[in-house]
Amino acid sequence: MADRRKLVVGNWKMNGMKAQLGEVEAIGTLAAAHPGVDVGLCLPATLIAAADAGKGGAFVGAQDCHMKDSGAHTGCLSAAMLAEAGATWTIVGHSERRQDQGESDADIAAKALAARAAGLKVILCVGESLDVRDAGDAEAVVSAQLLASLPDGAAGDWLAIAYEPIWAIGTGRIPTMDAVDAMHRALRDALAGRIGDAAQAVRILYGGSMNGDNAAELLAIADVDGGLVGGASLTAAKFAPIVQAAA
Protein backbone atom coordinates (compact mmCIF):
# COMPACT_ATOMS: atom_id res chain seq x y z
CA MET A 1 0.00 0.00 0.00
CA ALA A 2 1.20 3.48 -0.75
CA ASP A 3 2.54 5.49 2.15
CA ARG A 4 -0.04 8.25 2.50
CA ARG A 5 0.14 10.69 5.42
CA LYS A 6 -3.17 11.03 7.17
CA LEU A 7 -4.95 14.35 6.52
CA VAL A 8 -7.49 15.56 9.08
CA VAL A 9 -9.31 18.76 8.18
CA GLY A 10 -11.99 20.70 9.99
CA ASN A 11 -14.64 22.42 7.89
CA TRP A 12 -16.17 25.16 9.99
CA LYS A 13 -18.80 25.97 7.35
CA MET A 14 -20.69 29.20 8.28
CA ASN A 15 -19.48 29.12 11.87
CA GLY A 16 -16.80 31.13 13.58
CA MET A 17 -16.28 34.69 14.76
CA LYS A 18 -13.16 36.32 16.15
CA ALA A 19 -14.24 34.99 19.54
CA GLN A 20 -13.41 31.48 18.26
CA LEU A 21 -9.80 32.28 17.31
CA GLY A 22 -8.76 30.74 20.62
CA GLU A 23 -10.05 27.40 19.33
CA VAL A 24 -7.98 27.85 16.16
CA GLU A 25 -4.93 28.42 18.33
CA ALA A 26 -5.69 25.39 20.47
CA ILE A 27 -6.09 23.26 17.33
CA GLY A 28 -2.80 24.67 16.06
CA THR A 29 -1.14 23.49 19.25
CA LEU A 30 -2.82 20.10 18.88
CA ALA A 31 -1.52 19.86 15.31
CA ALA A 32 2.02 20.75 16.39
CA ALA A 33 1.87 17.90 18.91
CA HIS A 34 1.03 15.43 16.10
CA PRO A 35 3.64 16.11 13.43
CA GLY A 36 2.92 12.82 11.67
CA VAL A 37 -0.54 14.00 10.65
CA ASP A 38 -1.47 16.86 8.33
CA VAL A 39 -4.05 18.92 10.24
CA GLY A 40 -5.95 21.92 8.95
CA LEU A 41 -9.02 24.09 9.33
CA CYS A 42 -11.10 25.35 6.41
CA LEU A 43 -12.53 28.54 7.87
CA PRO A 44 -14.94 31.28 6.89
CA ALA A 45 -12.93 33.63 4.67
CA THR A 46 -13.36 36.42 7.23
CA LEU A 47 -11.20 34.51 9.70
CA ILE A 48 -8.43 33.28 7.41
CA ALA A 49 -5.99 36.17 7.86
CA ALA A 50 -6.43 36.36 11.63
CA ALA A 51 -6.25 32.58 11.98
CA ASP A 52 -3.06 32.45 9.91
CA ALA A 53 -1.24 34.28 12.69
CA GLY A 54 -2.17 31.71 15.35
CA LYS A 55 -2.37 28.51 13.36
CA GLY A 56 0.57 26.72 15.01
CA GLY A 57 1.13 23.36 13.37
CA ALA A 58 -2.14 23.47 11.45
CA PHE A 59 -2.80 24.86 8.00
CA VAL A 60 -5.57 27.30 7.26
CA GLY A 61 -7.82 26.73 4.27
CA ALA A 62 -10.89 28.14 2.56
CA GLN A 63 -14.20 26.43 1.84
CA ASP A 64 -14.66 27.46 -1.79
CA CYS A 65 -13.15 29.72 -4.44
CA HIS A 66 -14.30 31.23 -7.71
CA MET A 67 -13.07 29.69 -10.98
CA LYS A 68 -12.02 33.08 -12.41
CA ASP A 69 -9.01 35.16 -11.36
CA SER A 70 -10.91 38.44 -11.02
CA GLY A 71 -13.82 40.36 -12.48
CA ALA A 72 -17.47 41.27 -12.10
CA HIS A 73 -18.54 38.55 -9.65
CA THR A 74 -20.06 40.39 -6.70
CA GLY A 75 -19.56 38.63 -3.40
CA CYS A 76 -17.13 36.01 -4.72
CA LEU A 77 -13.49 35.41 -3.80
CA SER A 78 -10.71 34.29 -6.11
CA ALA A 79 -8.22 31.62 -5.15
CA ALA A 80 -5.43 34.21 -5.25
CA MET A 81 -7.30 36.39 -2.74
CA LEU A 82 -7.67 33.44 -0.39
CA ALA A 83 -4.02 32.53 -0.81
CA GLU A 84 -2.99 36.11 -0.07
CA ALA A 85 -5.08 36.03 3.11
CA GLY A 86 -3.12 32.96 4.25
CA ALA A 87 -5.03 29.96 2.93
CA THR A 88 -2.92 27.11 1.60
CA TRP A 89 -5.82 24.77 0.84
CA THR A 90 -9.42 25.07 -0.26
CA ILE A 91 -12.40 22.78 -0.36
CA VAL A 92 -14.30 22.64 -3.66
CA GLY A 93 -17.52 20.84 -4.49
CA HIS A 94 -18.93 20.43 -1.00
CA SER A 95 -22.45 18.98 -1.26
CA GLU A 96 -23.85 22.04 0.52
CA ARG A 97 -22.53 24.22 -2.31
CA ARG A 98 -23.58 21.72 -4.99
CA GLN A 99 -27.09 21.97 -3.50
CA ASP A 100 -27.34 25.56 -2.24
CA GLN A 101 -25.43 27.24 -5.09
CA GLY A 102 -26.23 24.74 -7.83
CA GLU A 103 -22.57 24.09 -8.61
CA SER A 104 -22.01 21.59 -11.42
CA ASP A 105 -19.25 19.03 -11.77
CA ALA A 106 -17.70 21.21 -14.49
CA ASP A 107 -17.77 24.26 -12.19
CA ILE A 108 -16.00 22.26 -9.52
CA ALA A 109 -13.29 20.99 -11.85
CA ALA A 110 -12.73 24.61 -12.98
CA LYS A 111 -12.53 25.81 -9.38
CA ALA A 112 -9.99 23.12 -8.56
CA LEU A 113 -7.82 24.23 -11.48
CA ALA A 114 -8.12 27.88 -10.45
CA ALA A 115 -7.11 26.97 -6.91
CA ARG A 116 -4.10 25.04 -8.12
CA ALA A 117 -3.03 27.90 -10.37
CA ALA A 118 -3.04 30.17 -7.30
CA GLY A 119 -0.90 27.70 -5.38
CA LEU A 120 -3.67 26.25 -3.22
CA LYS A 121 -4.07 22.56 -2.50
CA VAL A 122 -7.56 21.23 -2.99
CA ILE A 123 -10.03 18.94 -1.25
CA LEU A 124 -12.61 17.85 -3.82
CA CYS A 125 -15.84 16.57 -2.25
CA VAL A 126 -18.17 13.90 -3.61
CA GLY A 127 -20.99 11.91 -2.07
CA GLU A 128 -24.39 10.33 -2.64
CA SER A 129 -27.92 11.12 -1.48
CA LEU A 130 -29.85 8.66 0.65
CA ASP A 131 -32.00 7.68 -2.35
CA VAL A 132 -28.91 6.68 -4.28
CA ARG A 133 -27.54 4.77 -1.30
CA ASP A 134 -30.86 2.95 -0.80
CA ALA A 135 -31.05 2.08 -4.49
CA GLY A 136 -27.70 0.29 -4.20
CA ASP A 137 -26.00 2.56 -6.74
CA ALA A 138 -23.73 4.54 -4.46
CA GLU A 139 -20.32 3.36 -5.71
CA ALA A 140 -21.21 3.78 -9.37
CA VAL A 141 -22.84 7.19 -8.89
CA VAL A 142 -20.10 8.65 -6.70
CA SER A 143 -17.32 7.27 -8.92
CA ALA A 144 -18.98 8.93 -11.92
CA GLN A 145 -19.34 12.17 -9.93
CA LEU A 146 -15.65 12.05 -9.06
CA LEU A 147 -14.54 11.52 -12.65
CA ALA A 148 -16.87 14.30 -13.86
CA SER A 149 -15.49 16.81 -11.35
CA LEU A 150 -11.85 15.69 -11.45
CA PRO A 151 -9.52 18.45 -12.72
CA ASP A 152 -6.84 17.79 -15.33
CA GLY A 153 -3.47 17.04 -13.79
CA ALA A 154 -4.96 15.45 -10.67
CA ALA A 155 -2.15 14.25 -8.41
CA GLY A 156 -1.63 13.60 -4.74
CA ASP A 157 0.77 16.48 -4.18
CA TRP A 158 -2.03 19.02 -4.59
CA LEU A 159 -5.35 17.18 -4.58
CA ALA A 160 -7.26 15.14 -2.02
CA ILE A 161 -10.74 13.67 -2.36
CA ALA A 162 -13.37 13.72 0.40
CA TYR A 163 -16.11 11.12 0.28
CA GLU A 164 -19.04 12.67 2.16
CA PRO A 165 -22.35 10.82 1.98
CA ILE A 166 -24.92 13.64 2.05
CA TRP A 167 -27.18 11.75 4.44
CA ALA A 168 -24.33 11.38 6.94
CA ILE A 169 -23.50 15.09 7.14
CA GLY A 170 -24.63 16.57 10.43
CA THR A 171 -26.98 13.67 11.15
CA GLY A 172 -24.98 11.47 13.48
CA ARG A 173 -25.45 8.59 11.01
CA ILE A 174 -22.54 7.00 9.19
CA PRO A 175 -22.34 4.18 6.64
CA THR A 176 -21.22 0.75 7.81
CA MET A 177 -17.47 0.29 7.85
CA ASP A 178 -17.87 -2.19 4.98
CA ALA A 179 -19.71 0.44 2.95
CA VAL A 180 -16.98 3.02 3.59
CA ASP A 181 -14.33 0.47 2.65
CA ALA A 182 -16.16 -0.43 -0.57
CA MET A 183 -16.64 3.22 -1.54
CA HIS A 184 -13.04 4.25 -0.92
CA ARG A 185 -11.78 1.27 -2.94
CA ALA A 186 -14.20 2.14 -5.74
CA LEU A 187 -13.02 5.75 -5.76
CA ARG A 188 -9.37 4.74 -5.87
CA ASP A 189 -10.13 2.34 -8.73
CA ALA A 190 -11.95 5.11 -10.58
CA LEU A 191 -8.99 7.43 -10.04
CA ALA A 192 -6.57 4.76 -11.21
CA GLY A 193 -8.62 4.33 -14.35
CA ARG A 194 -8.06 8.02 -15.07
CA ILE A 195 -4.55 8.75 -13.75
CA GLY A 196 -2.98 5.31 -13.35
CA ASP A 197 -0.50 4.61 -10.56
CA ALA A 198 -0.63 8.24 -9.45
CA ALA A 199 -3.97 7.36 -7.82
CA GLN A 200 -2.03 5.62 -5.04
CA ALA A 201 -0.72 8.96 -3.78
CA VAL A 202 -4.09 10.75 -3.69
CA ARG A 203 -5.57 10.90 -0.21
CA ILE A 204 -9.22 9.95 0.07
CA LEU A 205 -10.86 11.36 3.21
CA TYR A 206 -14.09 10.29 4.82
CA GLY A 207 -16.53 13.00 5.96
CA GLY A 208 -19.96 12.90 7.55
CA SER A 209 -20.56 12.75 11.33
CA MET A 210 -16.97 11.76 12.02
CA ASN A 211 -16.28 12.19 15.72
CA GLY A 212 -14.08 11.04 18.56
CA ASP A 213 -16.10 7.86 18.98
CA ASN A 214 -15.98 6.60 15.39
CA ALA A 215 -12.75 8.11 14.02
CA ALA A 216 -10.40 5.28 15.00
CA GLU A 217 -12.50 2.66 13.26
CA LEU A 218 -12.97 4.77 10.14
CA LEU A 219 -9.31 5.75 9.93
CA ALA A 220 -8.24 2.10 10.23
CA ILE A 221 -9.83 1.30 6.85
CA ALA A 222 -7.06 0.81 4.29
CA ASP A 223 -8.18 3.43 1.78
CA VAL A 224 -9.39 5.99 4.33
CA ASP A 225 -6.54 8.50 4.44
CA GLY A 226 -8.08 11.01 6.82
CA GLY A 227 -11.23 12.91 7.59
CA LEU A 228 -13.16 16.04 6.69
CA VAL A 229 -14.89 16.98 9.91
CA GLY A 230 -17.70 19.47 10.43
CA GLY A 231 -19.31 19.79 13.84
CA ALA A 232 -16.60 17.93 15.71
CA SER A 233 -13.92 20.36 14.47
CA LEU A 234 -15.42 23.46 16.07
CA THR A 235 -13.58 23.00 19.35
CA ALA A 236 -10.14 21.62 20.08
CA ALA A 237 -11.65 19.35 22.74
CA LYS A 238 -13.87 17.58 20.19
CA PHE A 239 -11.29 17.61 17.41
CA ALA A 240 -8.43 16.24 19.52
CA PRO A 241 -9.52 12.58 19.65
CA ILE A 242 -9.89 12.55 15.85
CA VAL A 243 -6.38 13.90 15.31
CA GLN A 244 -5.07 11.45 17.90
CA ALA A 245 -6.82 8.57 16.14
CA ALA A 246 -5.05 9.55 12.90
CA ALA A 247 -1.60 9.70 14.51
- Give the x/- contact pattern for ligand 13P in 163-192, rule: CB under 6 A: -x----xx----------------------
- Binding-site member from 61, 86, 151, 231 for ligand 13P (CB under 6 A): 231
Min dist CB 230 to ligand 13P, Å, is 2
- Is 226 an interacting residue with respect to ligand 13P (CB under 6 A)? no
How many CA atoms does the CB half-sphere of 64 hold within 13 Å? 20
d(CA 40, CA 190): 26
Quick one: 180 or 229, whose CB is closer to ligand 13P? 229
Catalytic residue check, 94: yes
d(CA 2, CA 5): 10
> Per CB under 6 A, which region of 28-36, 111-119, 185-193, 226-234 contacts ligand 13P?
226-234
| 229 contacts: CB under 8 Å, gap ≥ 6 | 8, 9, 10, 11, 207, 210, 211, 239, 242
DSSP per-residue codes, 60-120: EEES---SSSSSS-TT---HHHHHHHT--EEEE--HHHHHHS---HHHHHHHHHHHHHTT-
Min dist CB 231 to ligand 13P, Å, is 4
- Binding-site member from 230, 239, 242, 245 for ligand 13P (CB under 6 A): 230
Catalytic residues: 94, 164
Binding stretches for ligand 13P (CB under 6 A): 11, 94, 164, 169-170, 207-210, 228-232
